[in-house]
Amino acid sequence: MGATPTAAVLDAGNLQQLLDILQKQNYQTVGPTVRDNAVVYEHIQSVEDLPRGWTDEQTNGRYRLTHGKGKKFFGYVHGPNSWKKFLYPPARQLYAADRMKHRFDVVAPEPSGIKPALIGVRACELAAIMVQDRVLMDGEYIDPEYKARRQNAVIVAVNCTRAGGTCFCASMNTGPRVQEGYDILLTEVVDSHGHYFTVETASEKGRAIAAQLATSPASEEQLAAARQAVDKAARQMGRTLDLTDLKDSLYRGFDSIHWEKVAGRCLTCGNCTMVCPTCFCVNVEDTTALTGEQAFRIRRWDSCFTVDFSYIHGGSIRATDYSRYRQWLLHKLAYWQDQFGVVGCVGCGRCITWCPVGIDITEEARAVKG
Ligand code: SF4
Ligand code: SF4
């Protein structure tokens, strides 16, 4: 076995070791796989589950997967899923109430104890997790399940060596190179040295796992090849969002006529919020068992694009399409900065790809700023 690597090399043929080590330590290994013609994040058991050789084409409202001759495991750019479904599940029971003779007992579930190992986390996605940390565990109101899963999680990040058609992380300073927040960082390279990963570690947890891999010391050439591959991804990125004066200029555009123009195209379907790795809005539902003996309070992901989301005392405060689109964009790019000290968008581009009418947040922000 190789020494504890700070910059080591793992032959691609040995990638399964990583999954084996994590599974032996009772981690739930989740990672990318192909399902329904998209790369999604699911529980994976073996490297055979990874989307080896698959790449994607993405642009406004369009996503296509193709299987080429390439042999990279991580040659795709993220699909519609984000890691939030493993850290902040789409539905969670907040409590159950059991009817007793003259009272009812309320039982809140303990944190589940799940240990997720997130394999293949990209730079923008890691930035999104850190944004959600601020909202869900670093502030005044803590979500116990989220906090437990975050603390139990191992993050195996992967640098992007190809930019997707809708990515703009470089202009958001969130990618394509992973900077912080990971346990293990892999960069996948295929060149004259073969097919390998450079392996870096940034935590004790990561170092302990990486020390069990059959790595060898990375040569200068291999490290340079990995650096160049990531630099190439940054250069490929076609879209940008200018952060200069972003918050104040958007506030100044609150009454812009542009919002009505976007609303003329927006279907208020909420796709953009469902695919966004930083959106965290939820609804709370109460249900009763048919026997009448139990009631449940369930939290579910919700979207600010629904009329009911802002229903208060007899009416919705955002009844128009344009007010809901404006709320979403201003929250991401402006209000979020006041609430949480960061921009709520990491430039992943999902909301552009998965918008059925191809609305592009970078263009709309530019138009309102203008
Ligand atoms: S911007 Fe696009 S994805 Fe978002 S609600 Fe409107 S139509 Fe749906
Ligand atoms: S707003 Fe769009 S580009 Fe920004 S993080 Fe959310 S899905 Fe990604």
Q: What is the pLDDT of residues 14-52, one digit of tens each?
A: 999 999 999 999 999 999 999 999 999 999 999 999 999
Q: Which residue's CA is the closest to the ligand 1 atom numbered 6?
A: 266
69 C-alpha to ligand 2 centroid (Å) = 30
Ligand 1 and 271: CB distance under 6 A: yes
Ligand 2 and 351: CB distance under 6 A: yes
Residue at 1 is within a domain: no
Q: What is the pLDDT of residues 308-360, one digit of tens each?
A: 999 998 899 999 999 999 999 999 999 999 999 999 999 999 999 999 999 99
Residues 118, 201, single domain; the answer is yes
Phi, psi values for residue 292, rounded to 5°: 80, 5
The pTM of the full predicted model, rounded to 2 decimals, is 0.95
**How does residue 188 score in pLDDT terms, banded at 50, 70 and 90?**
very high
Percent of the chain past pLDDT 90, that is, above it, reads 95
Residues 157, 275, single domain; the answer is no
Residue at 258 is within a domain: yes
Ligand 1 and 275: CB distance under 6 A: no
Checking if the pLDDT of 7 tops 90, the result is no
DSSP character at residue 12: G
**How does residue 272 score in pLDDT terms, banded at 50, 70 and 90?**
very high
The ligand that comes nearest to the alpha carbon of residue 333 is 2
Residue at 3 is within a domain: no
Number of neighbours of residue 202 by Cβ within 10 angstroms: 18
Boundary (domain end) residue, out of 178, 204, 236: 236
Checking if the pLDDT of 363 tops 80, the result is yes
**How does residue 3 score in pLDDT terms, banded at 50, 70 and 90?**
very low
Percent of the chain past pLDDT 70, that is, above it, reads 98
Number of neighbours of residue 26 by Cβ within 10 angstroms: 11
Residues 229, 88, single domain; the answer is yes
Domain carrying residue 155 = 8-236
Q: How many domains does the chain have?
A: 2
Boundary (domain end) residue, out of 236, 267, 301: 236
Q: What is the pLDDT of residues 75-114, one digit of tens each?
A: 999 999 999 999 999 999 999 999 998 999 999 999 999 9
What is the average pLDDT score of the chain? 96
- The helix, strand and coil proportions of the chain, stated in percent and rounded to the nearest 5, come to 35, 25, 40
**How does residue 6 score in pLDDT terms, banded at 50, 70 and 90?**
low
337-354 burial, b if ≥16 CB within 10 A, otherwise e? beebebbbbbbbbbbbbb
Residues 80, 153, single domain; the answer is yes
Average pLDDT for 191-219? 96
